[in-house]
């Protein structure tokens, strides 16, 4: 019921993001989603990729500290109020969202995807499923 | 007109000073022999008894005392008086987090305050002056020492302690403070702040400053003198010996007169321990010949400087030491606080970080900055920004409690700290002193 997100520690200085994406490019890794959180001296890049194991290995070899976190992927209809409805469900279930970011599914699908980092993926996906909101699996992301 | 607190001592003949030193050293050696087993053992190891020390000419025979001895003997091992006769301790940081604790009898405090009073009068202070003591009060010797000296001179004393710059300036302005005592970097900061407030030197009542506890350059002296419209005097001391006032500057501003009736100064070769002739640069060693509770014989300060007995225009006859030009160990003095890299390492390890760090010391707008760069490790990393920031803050708090100093913590990428010959360079001191 979750997607594997890779978080990468980056120094907040020119070239560090470039260096990380360079490693991914050299190893033919395809990113599905990308989000960046930062403070004045460091940042965390959060990425969803097509090959988790390979990505963590090549990043580690290149000296990037990283960790894998299970996150929730939710398909959101590309219509007004789509995100609002999902958040309403989570709010009613008192699920706290630590962070979230969106990405588009591409030309073949008519919805966007939202990545949620919550405390308990099981509870969150259960309440969403009850309301008919589609929680996507790793395979679906991999196929995009 | 040069002013003296104790002219008969400060301007005594060299013969008289030597006579005091001879007599007091002999007495002091017997005092420690009889009351401090630690010293007796050290002397016995060298085959010495008090009878071997007949005058200050025999001083070189005595073994050295170092910070390592202070740590080993902590807390009471070097105390030479019964605790019921001791009335105070002061303390400074030690090499590995173990603090140095120095003990004082009432007599010790009295003599220490005399030394500080000499410094204040050498800076032109009299009982007409208003003396603001902006050194920290507490375990740090700066505040209590100058406070006592200021009382002895008869100045109206304002014990502001350090910090709260707005309040410092308010007192200087409202109570017309004429003498300021603090670290040179804090004096510079107060000066910059007053300048930003639009105050010109002639609007500032201060006429002199007594600044010490950290290294400062001649350029910094000029800056402070110009901004505050004062004459800035250097003062030197160590908690181990009493505190500020071991030596102080006079109107000549060409070195600090060591209070030789209380301390015998030597310069040694830091590698061989051999005593060097006058004028040679080497490690400064002090013997306290009047301290009762915590006498130190041949204490290695780790400060590098020179001594001169050339006649001084101020009339004082006591030997002058140059500003310390460096250290023989890795101790840093940051905003007047002694910092050892090993203390920082201890905090990092206690907080679960690896020992991959670098300490960057700089001086921005005349104020020292301490930046501890720590390499991120897989163990410490999480995808949660708040969690990382929380740990970073814990580390800052840990450093503050260990060092008594605010430090910035910067998390850097693994392996980003430059290693030369496989060994990381721990300290980068960018200050131009």
> What DSSP line would sit under A53-98, residue for residue?
HHHHHHHHHTT--EEEEEEEEEEEESSTTHHHHHHHHHHHTTPPEE
**Residues A87 and A61 reside in one and the same domain:** no
**φ and ψ at B200, to 5 degrees?**
-95, 160
pLDDT in tens, A35-92: 999 888 899 999 999 899 999 999 999 999 999 999 999 988 878 898 999 999 999 9
pLDDT band at A1 (very low <50, low <70, confident <90, very high): low
Query: A69, A90, A110: which is the final residue of a domain?
Result: A69
pLDDT in tens, B338-376: 888 878 888 888 888 877 789 999 988 778 899 999 988
Is pLDDT at B182 greater than 90 in this prediction?
Answer: yes
Mean pLDDT of B277-299: 97
Q: What is the ipTM of this complex?
A: 0.78
CA of B397, closest CA in chain A: separation in Å? 18
Which one is predicted more confidently, A125 or B284? B284
The answer to whether the CB atoms of B388 and A42 lie below 8 A apart is yes
pLDDT at residue B120, rounded to an integer: 98
Mean predicted lDDT score pLDDT of chain B: 92
B334 touches B370 (CB < 8 A)? yes
Residues A113 and A62 in one domain: no
Same domain, A49 and A75: no
Whether residue A63 sits in one domain with residue A8? yes
Distance (Å, whole) CA A77 – CA B334: 59
Residues A10 and A32 in one domain: yes
| Confidence grade of residue A108 (pLDDT, cut at 50, 70, 90) | low
**A83, A20: one domain:** no
User: Do A79 and A42 share a structural domain?
Assistant: no
Q: Which residue of B has its CA nearest to A38?
A: B385
**Tokens 């690896």 -> residue:** B354
The per-residue pLDDT for B1 is: 80
Instruction: Check if A30 contacts B (Cβ < 8 Å).
Output: no
pLDDT confidence band for A95 (50 / 70 / 90): very high
Domain that holds residue A91: 71-143
Domain containing A106 — which CATH number? 3.30.70.260
Distances (CA, A) of A127 to A73, B1, B86, B154: 14, 87, 71, 78
Chain A: residue whose CA lies nearest to B412: A11
Q: In whole angstroms, give the CA distance from residue A88 to residue B128.
A: 74
Is a pLDDT exceeding 80 seen at residue B418? no
Residue B422, pLDDT > 60, answer no
Helices and strands of chain A, counted as H and E runs: 5, 7
Domain match, A58 and A75 both: no
Q: Which two tokens stand for residue A101?
A: 């970011």
Contact B376 A9 (CB under 8 A): yes
Contact A16 B413 (CB under 8 A): yes
Answer whether B388 sits within 8 Å of A44, measured CB to CB: yes
Q: Is the pLDDT of residue B379 over 90?
A: no
pLDDT above 70: residue B95: no
Choice between A43 and B99, residue whose per-residue pLDDT is larger: A43
Residue with tokens 């009613």: A92
**Residue where a domain stops, chosen among A41, A69, A97:** A69
The mean per-residue pLDDT over the stretch B46-55 comes to: 96
User: Which residue in chain B is spatially nearest to A7 when comparing CA positions?
Assistant: B383
Provide the pLDDT for residue B423. Answer: 53
In a shared domain, residues A89 and A39: no
- Provide, as residue numbers in chain B, all residues whose Cβ is less than 8 Å from the Cβ of A117: 383
Give yes or no: residues A63 and A79 share one domain: no
The reported pLDDT for the residue numbered A48 is 93
> pLDDT at residue B137 above 70?
yes
Pick the residue of A42, A98, A117 with the most B CBs within 10 A to test the interface with B by mutation.
A42
Residue A110 near residue A78, CB atoms below 8 Å: yes
Distance CA B407, CA B73 (A): 30
Does A52 share its domain with A81? Answer: no
CB contact under 8 A, B413 and A9: yes
Residue B335: pLDDT over 70:
yes
**pLDDT band (50, 70, 90) for residue B192:** confident
Q: Give the per-residue pLDDT at B424.
A: 59
Which of A53, A69, A85 corresponds to the end of one domain? A69
Same domain (yes/no): A101, A54? no
Q: Which of B384, B412, B416 sits opposite A98 (nearest CB)?
A: B384
Task: Say what the pLDDT of residue B249 is.
Answer: 97
Domains held by chain A: number: 2
- Percent of chain B past pLDDT 90, that is, above it, reads 72
Q: Which of A62, A51, A86, A50 is nearest to A8 (CA)?
A: A62
Residue B378's pLDDT band (cuts 50, 70, 90): confident
Give the separation between CA B306 and CA B303, rounded to whole angstroms.
10
Pairs from B41-49 (Cβ < 8 Å, separation ≥ 24): B42/B69
Which range has highest mean pLDDT (A43-52, B35-44, B85-94)?
B35-44
The two beta strands, B282-288 and B263-268, are antiparallel
Whether the pLDDT of residue B98 is over 80: the answer is no
In the predicted model, what is the mean pLDDT of residues B232-253? Answer: 96
User: Which CATH number characterizes residue A12's domain?
Assistant: 3.30.2130.10
> Of all residues in chain B, what percent are helix, strand and coil, respectively (each to 5)?
35, 25, 40
B230-241 pLDDT, tens digit per residue, is 999 999 999 999
At residue B309 the predicted structure's pLDDT band, cuts being 50, 70 and 90, is: very high
Tens-place pLDDT, residues A3-24: 999 999 999 888 899 999 999 9
């Amino acid at each position: 019921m979750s997607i594997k997100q890779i978080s990468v520690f980056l120094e907040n200085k020119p070239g560090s993001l470039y260096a990380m994406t360079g490693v991914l490019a050299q190893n033919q890794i395809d990113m599905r989603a990308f989000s960046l959180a930062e403070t004045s001296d460091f940042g965390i890049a959060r990425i969803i990729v097509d090959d988790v194991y390979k990505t963590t290995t090549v990043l580690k070899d290149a000296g990037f500290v990283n960790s894998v976190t299970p996150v929730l992927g939710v398909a959101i209809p590309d219509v007004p109020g789509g995100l609002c409805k999902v958040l309403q469900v989570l709010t009613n279930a008192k699920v706290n969202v630590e962070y979230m970011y969106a990405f588009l599914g591409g030309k073949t699908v008519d919805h966007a995807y939202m990545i949620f980092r919550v405390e308990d993926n099981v509870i969150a996906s259960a309440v969403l499923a009850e309301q008919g909101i589609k929680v996507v699996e790793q395979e679906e992301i991999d196929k995009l | 007109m040069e002013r003296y607190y104790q002219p008969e001592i400060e301007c005594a003949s060299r013969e008289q000073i030597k006579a005091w030193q001879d007599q007091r050293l002999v007495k002091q050696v017997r005092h420690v022999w009889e009351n401090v087993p630690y010293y007796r053992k050290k002397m016995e190891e060298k085959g010495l008894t008090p009878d071997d020390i007949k005058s200050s000419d025999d001083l070189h025979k005595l073994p050295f005392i170092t910070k390592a001895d202070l740590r080993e003997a902590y807390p009471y091992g070097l105390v030479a008086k019964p605790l019921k006769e001791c009335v105070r301790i002061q303390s400074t940081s030690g090499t590995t987090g173990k603090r140095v604790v120095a003990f004082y009898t009432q007599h010790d405090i009295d003599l220490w305050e005399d030394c500080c009073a000499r410094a204040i009068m050498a800076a032109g202070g009299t009982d007409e002056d208003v003396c603001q003591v902006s050194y920290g009060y507490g375990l740090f010797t700066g505040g209590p020492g100058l406070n006592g000296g200021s009382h002895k001179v008869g100045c109206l004393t304002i014990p502001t302690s350090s910090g709260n710059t707005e309040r410092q300036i308010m007192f200087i302005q409202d109570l017309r403070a004429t003498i300021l005592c603090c670290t040179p970097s804090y004096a510079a900061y107060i000066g910059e702040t007053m300048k930003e407030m639009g105050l010109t030197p002639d609007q500032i009542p201060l006429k002199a400053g007594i600044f010490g506890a950290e290294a400062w350059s001649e350029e910094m002296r000029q800056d402070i003198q110009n901004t505050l419209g004062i004459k800035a005097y250097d003062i030197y001391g160590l908690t181990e010996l009493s505190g500020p006032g071991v030596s102080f500057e006079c109107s000549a501003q060409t070195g600090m007169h060591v209070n030789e009736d209380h301390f015998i100064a030597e310069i040694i070769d830091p590698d061989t321990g051999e005593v060097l002739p006058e004028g040679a640069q080497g490690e400064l060693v002090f013997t306290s010949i009047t301290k009762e509770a915590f006498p130190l014989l041949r204490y290695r300060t780790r400060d590098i400087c020179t001594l001169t007995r050339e006649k001084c225009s101020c009339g004082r006859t006591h030997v002058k030491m140059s500003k310390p030009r460096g250290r023989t160990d890795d101790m840093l003095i940051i905003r007047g606080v002694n910092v050892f890299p090993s203390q920082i390492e201890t905090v990092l390890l206690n907080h679960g970080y690896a020992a991959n760090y670098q300490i960057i010391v700089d001086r921005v707008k005349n104020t020292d900055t301490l930046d501890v760069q720590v390499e991120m490790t897989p163990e410490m990393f999480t995808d949660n920004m708040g969690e990382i920031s929380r740990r970073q803050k814990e580390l800052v708090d840990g450093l503050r409690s260990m060092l008594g100093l605010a430090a910035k913590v910067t998390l850097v990428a693994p392996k980003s700290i430059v290693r030369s010959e496989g060994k990381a360079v721990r300290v980068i001191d960018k200050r131009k002193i």
